[in-house]
Amino acid sequence: MYSLTHSHKIIDAIPLAPDHSGKKFKIKLPNICPICDTAYGELPLISYYIEEIFDEFLYSFFFCPHCQKCFMIKYSVTDGAFGEPPIGTIGSVFPNSSHLTDFPEQIKNLSPQFVKIYHESEQAESAGLTEICGMGYRKALEFLIKDYAIHQNPKLVDEIKAQPLAKCINKYINIESIVTLAERSAWIGNDETHYVRKHNNLDFNDMKLFIAAAVHFMSMNLIVEKAESISRK
C-alpha cells in the first residue's frame, strides 16, 4: 500500500481530431476510486486524446468494480523517452473526490497544522489545481517532519524550525525506514528547479504516498511511546 512506485501502463487512445490516428500513451493508473475510496488498479475502458497548439491531453474513462460506477481522468501529456510513448500524468479526476483523509489521533495531536495544510491540499487537488496542491503537500510534509522532530527533541525547537527539511529528516528522525523514504523522495530537495528538472517523472501522488508512509511509521512510534510511558507508572 505504501509503495513509492506507481504502476505505469501502456494504453491505446482514440483521436478526438478526425485527421489523427490512434496512439499509445504510458499512463499512471489511479490507485484509488474517487467515488468509493477503494484501492484501484484497473486499466481504462477507453481513452481519447486531443492535441492542441502547445498542449496535448488524454481523457481516460474508468469503471470501478467495487462501487460499479465510472469516473474519468484528464491526463497532461509530456514527451516520452526516445522511442517510448508519451507520458500521461494525472491532472483532474471527475467526479471530484470530496474525501478528506482522516489521520490517526496521535498525528492530529502531534501536528494539527500538518492536518490542516494536507486537507487544504486535498481540496486544491479535487479542484484540479495540481501545481498548488503539490506545493501544499510539500508544506504539509515539512510541518509533519518538523513537529515530529520537535516532539522527539523538545529542547531543540529553534534549531529544528530553522533547518532545511532534508537536513531535519536526516538529523532528527531516527527511524531508518522514514529516512530511507525521505531520501527516495525527490521532492525533499531544497532547489525546486533542480528536482523538477531531474525528477519530472515524480508528481504530487508520489509525495502523498511518501507522506502516508511517514504518517504510518510516526503514529506506530507514538503508540509505542505511549505504551512505554504507561508501563513505567
Residues that bind Zn ion in the complex, under the rule CB under 5 A? 33, 35-36, 64, 66-67
Which of 21/68 has CB closer to Zn ion?
68
CA distance 139 to 131: 13
Considering only CA atoms, which of 61, 72, 77 is closest in space to residue 24? 77
Cell of 100: 478528506
CA distance 132 to 124: 7
Rounded alpha-carbon distances, angstroms, from residue 179 to 210, 213, 218, 223: 11, 11, 12, 19
Which of 11/35 has CB closer to Zn ion?
35
Which of 33/182 has CB closer to Zn ion?
33
Task: State in angstroms the smallest separation of the CB of 125 from Zn ion.
Answer: 18
Task: State in angstroms the smallest separation of the CB of 232 from Zn ion.
Answer: 46
Which of 1/162 has CB closer to Zn ion?
1
Task: State in angstroms the smallest separation of the CB of 97 from Zn ion.
Answer: 10
Q: Is 117 helix (H, G, I), strand (E, B) or coil?
A: helix
Task: State in angstroms the smallest separation of the CB of 37 from Zn ion.
Answer: 7
Task: State in angstroms the smallest separation of the CB of 35 from Zn ion.
Answer: 5
Which of 62/143 has CB closer to Zn ion?
62
Cell of 125: 487537488
Do 97 and 126 form a contact (C-beta atoms < 8 A)?
Answer: yes
CA distance 115 to 111: 7
CA distance 6 to 3: 7
Which of 96/153 has CB closer to Zn ion?
96
Partners of 8 in beta bridges: 28
Task: State in angstroms the smallest separation of the CB of 102 from Zn ion.
Answer: 18
- Regarding beta strands 87-94 and 69-78, do their DSSP bridges make them parallel or antiparallel, or are they unpaired? antiparallel
Do 168 and 182 form a contact (C-beta atoms < 8 A)?
Answer: no
Task: State in angstroms the smallest separation of the CB of 60 from Zn ion.
Answer: 15
Cell of 181: 523514504
Which of 36/156 has CB closer to Zn ion?
36
